[in-house]
Amino acid sequence: MNNGLMQLGLGTNHPLFADRADAGERLGKALSRYRGERPLVLGIPRGGVPVAAQVAKAVDGELDVIVARKMGSPISPELAVGAVTADGARYLNEETIGALDVSAEYLERVAKEKSADALARERRFRAGRPPLSVEGRTVILVDDGIATGSTMIASARSIRARHPERLVIAVPVGPRETCDSMRAEADEVVCLETPAFFMAVGLHYRDFSQTEDEDVDRLLRAWQAPVTASTA
């Protein structure tokens, strides 16, 4: 793998992006060299899908979703010990697991529960459509930002197991150390902004309104409509 890391900008003390659409447009410009390859752009719901839709438009690619669910710890569901995808690909935070002395039995149980939840959500978002093929393609994996990177890593491992030609992780913003760590999971990492002081993804957006399931449905339906019409 090339393991290239492309980092643009230094970050500022004011919001870097107007909203997810703005972030997606700017991310799409940074990925414009993939236009002509018909790449597959996978958004991580829910917030990553509006960003991914703009990227797919910019690179003339196809749009789909990949769902990863965080695995909560025994002491709090908000404290993640890892993440898992619909097909069981997972990332485990060994440091947190060790500090909390989390049992293997607990991890297996939660992984199965969250994987089943991820599968149900993928099927809901696709509304009966089959997942788009990954094998032999350039795949661009998109979220609206990364903090710890657990869901991104689980998603990347799921995609890698399906043998893409090239896997690109692309986000508008994230801490430098997390973006650096993504190099082990992909052929290329594009992180537009790596602020020196990073606390939360949402602080770098002027409008970080919650993306609803219905918003994801609408974006995917709008993307499918031209494809359906052209093949009718």
Give pLDDT tens digits for 119-168.
999 999 998 889 999 999 999 999 999 999 999 999 999 999 999 999 99
Query: Tens of pLDDT along 30-41?
Result: 999 999 999 999
Helix, strand, coil percent content, the chain, rounded in steps of 5: 45, 20, 35
- What is the model's pTM? 0.90
Query: Tens of pLDDT along 108-121?
Result: 999 999 999 999 99
| The predicted structure's pLDDT at residue 198 | 92
Listed by start position, the domains of the chain span: 4-67+127-231
Q: How far apart are CA 83 and CA 111, in angstroms?
A: 8
- Asked whether 216 and 65 are in contact (CB, 8 A), the reply is yes
What are 109's two structure tokens?
Answer: 């149980």
| The predicted structure's pLDDT at residue 128 | 86
For 196-227, the DSSP string reads SS---GGGGBS--PPPPHHHHHHHHHHHHHHH
Architecture of the CATH domain 4-67+127-231: 3-Layer(aba) Sandwich (3.40)
Mean of pLDDT over the chain: 91
3-state SS, residue 49: helix
- Asked whether 169 and 43 are in contact (CB, 8 A), the reply is no
